[in-house]
Structure 1
Amino acid sequence: MADATTRRHAVAFRPRARLVSVLGEHLISDQAVGLVELVKNAYDADATEVTVELLNLADPETALVVVEDNGVGMTLDDLVGKWLSPAVDHKERKKHRAERTPRGRLPIGEKGVGRFAVHHLGRRLRLVTRAADSDEICLDIDWDRFDASDTFLDGLSLTAVERSPEVFLGELTGTRLEIRSSRGPWNEKLVRKVHRTLKRLQNPVSEVADFRVGLVCPDYPELQDIDPTDILDRAHYEFRVLVDADGGCDYEYTCRHPAVASRSRSGTESLLALSGDELASRTPECGPFWVNLYVWDRSSNFLQKSGVSRRELDAHCGVSLFRDGLRALPYGEPGDDWLFLDQERIQAPAERVGNNQVIGLVLVDQTTNLQLRDKTNREGLIENQAFQDLRTLVRSVARLFTSHWRRDRPTGDTRQRPVTAADGVRKARALASAIEKTARDDVPVRWPPRPARPSVAETADEKHLPEPVVVLTQRQALSELINELDGASADLQERQRRRDIMRQLAATGLAAERVVHEFGRQVAAAMTHLQQLESNARGDDRTRDMFRAVAVSLRTLRNEFRVLAPYESVGRADRVQSASVADSVRLALLLNQHNLDAEGIHVSVVGDDFEVRSRPAAVVQILDNLVHNASYWAALGEAAGQRIVVHLRPTERRVLVVDSGPGVHPEVVEQLFQPFSTLKVGGTGLGLFISAELARSLGCTLRLADKTEQQNELGGAAFVLGFPHEERSEKEHPDE
């Protein structure tokens, strides 16, 4: 029996009229975004043409924005049931049913909130629309009526008028929006943004068939041309990639930089191997897509040779995202670094390309990427797993491009600030250029110039051979001198950049050494004092337990830092002595234990131990780097097969470190041990270089194993550290 005091009442949400104003203000960020939404609505209406008119912009009260299309138009039922029904999902349902328009289009919109763009653009609206075999419908809306806080939305009625055609005459259909009383002033900066947004709305490589956008703006006639630019044909580098649903790709690379010979390459690649641990052991949730990258060297002389101005490049640069040929904002807008290109370039300026160097196109087909959905505020896509996987794969495409770009770009970087020596070279070049203008073509000159008397070291060097001497004119000789000075300047700048990085890393290493040393000293002192306190303490059992707990904590910290002991010898004499290779391997594995456990990588050491005469700390450093690299790449494979095997070969006096990762990328094999060459996410490209230098200082060799000696059943990379067969003495190497 129900409680006599219980009451049940039917209630419902009843939105206030000002909800329309709130949504209009917060869902649409500015006029440019609002106009793009209205143009996309015209696309969804199967229009072939849409015209945007911006008139009388000097005064917000007289400003008029007109958006007119020749689409299918709306019937009265469409107007009431769709346009006047926010959040209606008819487009989303069509998209999931793959229901296309007569022109074969899937709807771009899906949330039913695009009409609030009209509210954002002005306070008065006249909508005129006509569908086939129907009368024309006219609807006037005063948006100020919706601002009242005491009025409910269902209490405001609007009047739609059916009339004989006055705008869409004859057999014409479509929709015309006249928006008056602008909510904000229109200035040149805002019109330029509208111009740029509409100009970049369509994929410039393959525009949407039968869809053209026009802009009319008498106040700024120079901005009315929004036809796609032909700047892409003048790119220094071009990279076209088709990415499949499994993360593999087919690519075509072309270099046509004016300072180097033109060349092209093509191939296939797994982008999962370049994505770090972001896509390890799983299939991407996004579908297939295309990526086109067009990249420039922003040096003024190279841009000029290609017929591109910095202003033109600035107007189009960035990586844009297109769905079914129409752009999704804000990707590729100024300041939008959605791929973190600029962030990575700050860390390695000469090894990465930034947003201001690239015009990128990410092309997505909605039918195979239904999980890529708009945010309600129209500012980008919902950052679900599908979007994150798409971004990761596009970043991997950029890394694959840079592996080609680094090989082909001109040596040196003219954008780097020259050091003192480079400044002197540049002044010498300027002087030579000035003299060249008055040089004569009838005066012979020895080239190269007669060198000064060679040094004793040079004459004692049996390999020293004089360069062949030719006779040039003054002008020719000066041209040769200018070319050599250009090369010297670029080389000096590159050396300075690398020296700065080395200096920074050295400072970091010295700081780490100091921390390790001081930490060990302080822990040892704390242990001594603790033992004295414990022996003199006369407390209860609880006090003695607390002493024991502190002692355990200190011993744990001491053991954790003990694995860094080899690095504490940096800068001091690490004496050559007999050392166990197996012990060095064990310590290298201990240094990487956290990563190995976190990734669930199985490690095995096979073979017999052997002794070497070497510097133990340096050997551990080399093996530490090899194990660290192996764990990184092994983690990219299937979880069940993530393995590292370390082979000890005493007869050959070698250690072989093998992983189950994707193997060494063919584009970096030749540069493997060169500084700053890497495909690792966030890598510096210095680990193998430093390890190879350390090995050389020990009289050892470090190299990539060839196929005959790999015995690599894991299928990944295999590196060989070889020790000399002859024992080395300190007298033979006093510098160590």
Structure 2
Amino acid sequence: MMSEAIVQPVGILRPRARLVHTLGSDLISNERIALIELVKNSYDADASHVVIEFSGSFENGEGSIAVWDNGHGMSLETVKNVWSEIATPFRRETHFSESAQRRVLGEKGIGRLAASRIGTLTEIVTARADFDEVVVLVDWDQFQQDIYLDEVEFSITERSPLAFGPNGKAVDILGPHFNGHGVGVQMTRLTRSWDEEEIRQLRLSLSRLAEPLPAGDLEDEVVQDFAISLSLPDRLSHLAGSIAPSDAVSHPHYSISGSVDPEGRAELTYKELLSGESSEVTTEISMASIDGTERRTPMCGPIKVDIRAWDLDKDAFEATKGQINMSAGNLKDYRAEIKEHSGVALFRDRFRVQPFGDATFDWLNLDARRVNNPTTRLSNNQISGFVFIKADENPELKDRSHREGLIDTQEYEDLQKVILSVIQELEVRRRKSRKARNAGSKVTKGASSGGLFQGFSLSKLEALSISRAHDAELQQAVKETQVSVETGIRNVKATLSRFSRLATLGSVVDIVLHEGRGAVARIKAGAFQLEGAVKLSQDEVVAARTRRNAPRISAGAEILTSLFRRIEPLSGRRRGRPSKVELKAIVDGACDLLVPEFERLNIRLSKRVAASSVTVDEGEIIQVLVNLLDNATYWLTHVEKDQRQIIVDADRDSDGHVVISVSDSGPGVPEDLRDDIFDPYFSTKPNGTGLGLAIAGSTVLDFYDGSLALVESEELPGATFQMTLRKRVGG
């Protein structure tokens, strides 16, 4: 006889009330964010005006803060069935507001917990048009008691309009914006004290909550359908009143704005305040594929951008103060305000996503990026940027649960890269403008100029000494200083040469490791087989395995020997005397280091090298060639795989000079950047330092009286760099 199955009771999770208190503390990090959450609730309720009222003492456990709006309000049914349901799916299912059809900002259904972060007692008064008024009273202290969540009680009462009646408090608070309906959320027994600085920071955060004022002239009226005001006691009246975006950032020294579509096509406008220059910028923004072999379109977009930047030195503000109607006495305060409003803010459906745009939140790592390239890159406190997205068009850019920041996804990473690409477009143009203003002499177009040390000159000091020929002490001091500076430059050049070789070796370290590991694996496998045979003590087995594995061990050893030979010229040892070497050996040495990368990226390499001996430091020339080949490799990933080609030519010209050129089929160098690519710290790579070509050009000039130039090629459509060595290259 079969026994009857025993039916187990269904388990039910029963949360304690303190869970809600924990959620409120963990998901809303501070009281300022909590107030912003309540303001966003008002926006979702189609309010056109919100007033935040501080009353009484601002000390912990005392006073009150209230948020009043003129939105459509809530009925008794909505309070019971929607507001009372924590994590309600109502907003997730209702994406647009009731009447204004705004894209709602809240979807998680936990924004109401913001009130618990501000005060321990909350009274909500709400009224819909032609409905009675509803009053909700919640004591948040209950949520810290040892009771279950379903044992928490709060009162809900319905009454004739009182607060929202003709003579009610809502009329006093909202003034001309009163329309007979809305919500008032009053939080008493404050959970923390508020001082004047914290209220000033709240005002600053609120001023950056809505869309910014446009750059340039502010005579055109800016239409705002959502306004925020602060109501404060008399002692803080200077912080009270309407809150509007600051006009401090409306007159940037440089700006770039426009849109980037989902395919990465950017249509931008660049402007300068001082020169009045305005130009259109069209570019394609792409990302590296996961394996780095191709480019792909961004996984975010469309995006609108408005990036504004300043030179923070005193001279820059002095030069533009007339155009911004700024007196000299106010310049210091103005510069401080610029820094206070610095950062790149992210707006989704017209509201700022916290904490993007806070001066201390460098989410694009602009400061770290500037460390490697201080002359071109902008720091976070030099930029006030605004990025606009829409939730429906960028559904994978999602908030973190604590309402600050976005979840780390590929879409978020792509968004960062797109914005950095736009900022880089501004940086390149800003640098050209500053360079033109500070230009002393014209340089050869598309060619390396005086090297890294061209700025070191004692000409002014020498001229002064000539004008004071009678001053023997000055004459001697100038001579000693000149010797000291020249010696120091020579030492720095030698040190830089060694470091540059190590940097070049570092750039191919992944290739070296990959090949080295393969060779070591062959040797280890062969040795393992032989070791096993020896343990068997059988001559026949040992002989058989030796015949089978000896070639494997030899091949691995040969690979390591070849690898060591290829990287040896790039060792960090002190430079020695130039030695005679075949031109082909130099070209092969540089190309061999990158052959695995060429194969991975499907790059066809052609070498045309004349039979000639040269007397050079092999490592120096290999270092320059690897730099040129590495640059070509990077830019070739921007074209289709079947179009990738590199040609290396090496020969002597009619004067006996050594001429080596590297040509590629990449996108080439834009005409307007050809004057800049050899300048130290100039780079069009997203994370480039801008030192590769500068160091290469300096090496060729300083040690070989040569030149490194960008020239035209009749064979390939990309870039062609030509290195000419004039001295110390005898055969």
How does the TM-score come out when normalised to structure 2?
0.76
Q: Which residue of 2 aligns with 1:287?
A: 301
Quote the Cα distance in structure 2 between the aligned partners of 1:284 and 1:509. Answer: 34
Tell me the amino acid that sits aligned with residue 355 of structure 1. N
In the alignment, residue 140 of structure 2 is paired with which amino acid? W
Q: Which moved more, 1:119-128 or 1:53-62?
A: 53-62
- Give 3-state SS (helix, strand or coil) of 2:388's partner: strand
Q: Work out the CA distance in 2 between the residues paired with 1:642 and 1:270.
A: 19
1:560-639 mapped onto 2 (5 Å cutoff): 560-568=563-571, 571-575=574-578, 577=580, 579-581=582-584, 583-593=585-595, 595-596=597-598, 600-605=601-606, 607=608, 609-611=610-612, 613-615=614-616, 616-638=618-640
8 Å CA contact 2:504–2:626 kept in 1: the answer is: no
Which deviates more, 127-136 or 686-695? 686-695
1:153 corresponds to which of 139, 149, 156: 149
Q: Quick check: 1:28–1:377 contact (8 Å CA) kept in 2? A: yes
- Identity over aligned pairs, percent: 29
Matched letter for residue 102 of structure 2: R
In 2: Cα distance, 1:558 partner to 1:241 partner: 55
Q: Is the 8 A contact 1:238 1:254 kept in 2?
A: yes
- Per the TM alignment, residue 302 of structure 1 is displaced from its structure 2 partner at its CA by 3.1
User: Where does the alignment leave 5 or more consecutive residues of structure 1 unmatched?
Assistant: 414-420, 429-446, 455-494, 731-736
Whether 2:257 is the aligned partner of 1:240: answer yes
- State the distance in 2 between where 1:502 and 1:200 align: 49
Q: Give the aligned residue type for 2:307.
A: L
Cα distance change, pair 539–109 in 1 and its aligned pair in 2 (3 A)? closer
Please show how residues 102-181 of structure 1 align to structure 2 within 5 Å.
Answer: 102-149=99-146, 151-169=147-165, 172-181=180-189
The residue that corresponds to 2:388 in the other structure is 363
The answer on whether the counterparts of 1:277 and 1:635 sit within 8 Å (CA) in structure 2 is no
Alignment-derived partner of residue 657 in structure 1: 662
State the 1:114 CA deviation.
0.8
Could you tell me how far apart the structure 2 residues matched to 1:623 and 1:210 are? 60
Question: In 1, distance between residues paired with 2:690 and 2:2?
Answer: 76
| 2:352 corresponds to | 327
1:704 lines up with 2:710 in the alignment: yes
Q: 1:727 to 1:676 in 2, by over 3 A?
A: closer
Q: 1:212 aligns with which of 227, 241, 255?
A: 227
Q: Specify the SS of the correspondent of 1:213.
A: strand
Q: Does 1:222 align with 2:222?
A: no
**In structure 1, what is the Cα distance between the partners aligned to 2:114 and 2:291?**
41
Tell me which moved more, 679-688 or 61-70.
Answer: 679-688
Say whether 1:541 aligns with 2:534. Answer: yes
Shift of 1:79: 1.5
Structure 2 partner of 1:190: 198
Deviation of 1:123 after TM superposition, in Å, equals: 0.6
- Say what the alpha-carbon RMSD is for the aligned residues: 4.2
Number of residue equivalences: 631
The Cα of 1:596 is off from its aligned counterpart by 4.0
In 2: Cα distance, 1:425 partner to 1:26 partner? 64
TM-aligned CA distance change 1:276 to 1:635, over 3 Å? farther
Please state if 1:339 is matched with 2:364: yes
- Name the CA shift for 1:339/1:704 in 2 (closer, same or farther; >3 Å): same
Q: In structure 2, how many angstroms separate the alpha carbons of the residues matched to 1:88 and 1:148?
A: 24
Shift in alpha-carbon separation, 1:499–1:678, aligned structure 2, 3 A: farther
User: Structure 1 CA distance, aligned partners of 2:378 and 2:288?
Assistant: 17
Query: 1:275/1:202 Cα in 2 relative to 1: closer, same or farther (>3 Å)?
Result: farther
Counterpart of 1:281, as a letter, is R
Within 2, Cα distance between the matches of 1:279 and 1:104?
Answer: 45
Q: Does the Cα contact within 8 Å between 2:213 and 2:246 map onto a contact in 1?
A: no
Q: CA deviation at 1:37?
A: 0.5
Give the Å deviation of 1:728.
5.2
How far has the Cα of 1:60 moved from its partner?
2.5
- Residue 464 (structure 1) aligns with: none
Task: Describe the shift of the 1:513–1:69 C-alpha distance in structure 2 as closer, same or farther (beyond 3 A).
Answer: closer
Preserved contact between residue 499 and residue 572 of structure 2 (Cα < 8 Å)? no
The correspondence for 2:418, drawn from 393, 399, 409, is: 393
Distance 1:159 1:401, change over 3 A: same
Does structure 1 residue 252 correspond to structure 2 residue 269? yes
Q: In the alignment, which residue of structure 2 is the partner of 1:264?
A: 278
Between stretches 18-27 and 566-575, larger displacement belongs to 566-575
User: Aligned equivalents of 2:423 and 2:295: distance in 1?
Assistant: 21
- Whether the 8 Å CA contact 1:272–1:279 is kept in 2: the answer is no
Distance across 2 between alignment mates of 1:276 and 1:679: 21
Question: Once structures 1 and 2 are overlaid, which stretch shifts more, 500-509 or 360-369?
Answer: 500-509
Partners of 1:605 and 1:647 within 8 A in 2: yes
**Which residue number corresponds to residue 436 of structure 1?**
none
Contact 1:703 1:720 in 2 (8 A): yes
Equivalent residue, structure 2, for 1:648: 649
Q: CA deviation at 1:553?
A: 7.5
CA separation of 1:382/1:127 partners in 2, compared to 1, >3 Å: closer, same or farther? same
Moved more, 43-52 or 302-311: 302-311
Give the Cα separation in 1 of the matches to 2:51 and 2:627.
61
Whether contact under 8 Å (2:52, 2:231) holds in the other structure is: yes
- Please report how far the alpha carbon of residue 508 of structure 1 lies from its aligned counterpart in structure 2 after TM superposition: 3.2
Instruction: Provide the rounded CA distance (Å) in 1 between the counterparts of 2:554 and 2:648.
Output: 39
1:621 partner amino acid: Q
Q: Counterparts of 1:353 and 1:593 in 2: how far apart (Å)? A: 36
Question: Could you say which residue in structure 1 is the equivalent of 2:696?
Answer: 691
2:720 pairs with 714, 718, 726, which one?
718
Residues 538 and 110 of structure 1: is their aligned pair in 2 closer, same or farther, counting only changes over 3 Å? closer
- The alignment's TM-score, normalised by the length of structure 1, stands at 0.76
Tell me the secondary structure at the aligned position of residue 125 of structure 1.
strand
CA contact (8 A) 2:249 2:341 kept: no
- Residues 369-384 of structure 1: pairs in structure 2 closer than 5 A: 369-384=394-409
AA matched with 2:265 = G
1:434-583 equivalent positions in 2, closer than 5 A? 505-506=496-497, 508-509=499-500, 541=534, 557-568=560-571, 571-575=574-578, 577=580, 579-581=582-584, 583=585
Cα distance change, pair 103–2 in 1 and its aligned pair in 2 (3 A): farther
Deviations 1:278-325 (A, max 9, x none): 895222111111111221111234335533423212321111111122
C-alpha distance after superposition, 1:223-255 (max 9, x if no partner): 225322211233211221321111121121122
**Counterpart in 1 of 2:77?**
77
Is the 8 Å Cα contact of residues 630 and 644 (structure 1) preserved in structure 2?
Answer: no
Contact 1:51–1:213 (Cα < 8 Å) also in 2:
yes
Aligned to 1:202: 210
Query: Cα deviation per residue 1:540-595 (whole Å; 9 max; x = unaligned)?
Result: 825999999999887665543322222248643443535233x3333212223454
8 Å Cα contact 1:644-1:657 kept in structure 2: no
Instruction: Write out per-residue CA displacement over residues 3-29 of structure 1, whole angstroms, 9 at most, x where no aligned residue.
Output: 656433222322221111111111111
> Which deviates further from its counterpart, 679-688 or 40-49?
679-688
Deviations 1:441-497 (A, max 9, x none): xxxxxx99995789xxxxxxxxxxxxxxxxxxxxxxxxxxxxxxxxxxxxxxxx9xx
Partner secondary structure for residue 331 of structure 1: coil
Match of 2:442 in 1: none
Output one character per residue of 1:202-226: Cα deviation in whole Å (capped at 9) or x when no partner: 1113677411011112242222253
Verify the 8 A CA contact 2:502 2:572 in the aligned structure 1. no
Identify if the C-alpha distance between structure 1 residues 619 and 449 changes in structure 2 by more than 3 Å, giving closer, same or farther.
Answer: closer
Shift in CA distance, 579/278, structure 1 to aligned 2, threshold 3 Å: closer
Question: In the aligned structure 1, how far is the partner of 2:14 from the partner of 2:378?
Answer: 53
Q: Which residue of 2 aligns with 1:434?
A: none
Q: Distance in 2 between matches of 1:669 and 1:564?
A: 32
CA deviation string 1:38-57 (max 9, x = no partner): 00110110100011112224
Deviation at 1:380, TM superposition (A): 1.4
Question: Against the structure 1 CA distance between its residues 277 and 398, is the aligned structure 2 distance closer, same or farther, given a 3 Å change threshold?
Answer: farther
Residues 513 and 568 of structure 1 are in contact (CA less than 8 Å); yes or no, is this contact kept in structure 2? no
Alignment-mate amino acid for residue 255 of structure 1 = E
User: 1:103 deviation in Å?
Assistant: 1.9
Q: Kindly tell me: are residues 13 and 563 of structure 1, through their superposed partners in 2, closer, same or farther at Cα, counting changes over 3 Å?
A: same
Per the TM alignment, residue 678 of structure 1 is displaced from its structure 2 partner at its CA by 0.9
